[in-house]
């Protein structure tokens, strides 16, 4: 769940969650620093099960990273929609 922290702090939390989910020690000690890197990381992973990505409190994420919607759209158009990834957005209202 996002909050009003800055992008780097949000991505540190995301890195911790990814490290835990994928059991990836590298990402836990080398946190993701931008949303482009986040999607590049996902693209590099081979996962056999469906992956559900939930962007909860999306407005908070966009507030600190205005580029995020276009980054998501580009990755969706280029490769995400072809993988077993489900993308959900939630708002705080």
Output the 3-class SS for 22-55.
HCCHHHHHCCCCCHHHHHHHHHHCCCCCCEEEEE
pLDDT band at 93 (very low <50, low <70, confident <90, very high): low
Q: 1: pLDDT confidence band, cut at 50, 70 and 90?
A: low
Give the pTM: 0.85
Neighbours of 40 (CB within 10 A): 12
Query: At a CB cut-off of 8 Å and minimum separation 6, what does 36 contact?
Result: 71
pLDDT at 92: 64
User: 28-66, pLDDT tens digit by residue?
Assistant: 899 999 999 999 999 998 877 888 888 888 888 899 899
In angstroms, rounded to a whole number, what is the distance separating the alpha carbons of residues 76 and 87? 9
Q: Is 57 left (phi over 0), alpha (psi -120 to 50) or beta?
A: left
pLDDT at residue 55, as a whole number: 87
Indicate if the pLDDT at residue 79 is higher than 80. yes
């Amino acid at each position: 769940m996002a909050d009003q922290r800055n992008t780097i702090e949000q991505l540190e939390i995301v890195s911790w969650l990814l490290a835990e989910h994928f059991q990836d020690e590298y990402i836990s000690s080398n946190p993701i620093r931008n949303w482009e890197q986040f999607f590049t990381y996902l693209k590099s992973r081979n996962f056999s099960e469906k992956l559900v990505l939930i962007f909860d409190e999306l407005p908070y994420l966009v507030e600190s990273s205005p580029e995020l919607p276009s980054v998501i759209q580009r990755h969706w158009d280029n490769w995400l929609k072809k993988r077993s990834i489900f993308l959900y957005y939630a708002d705080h209202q």
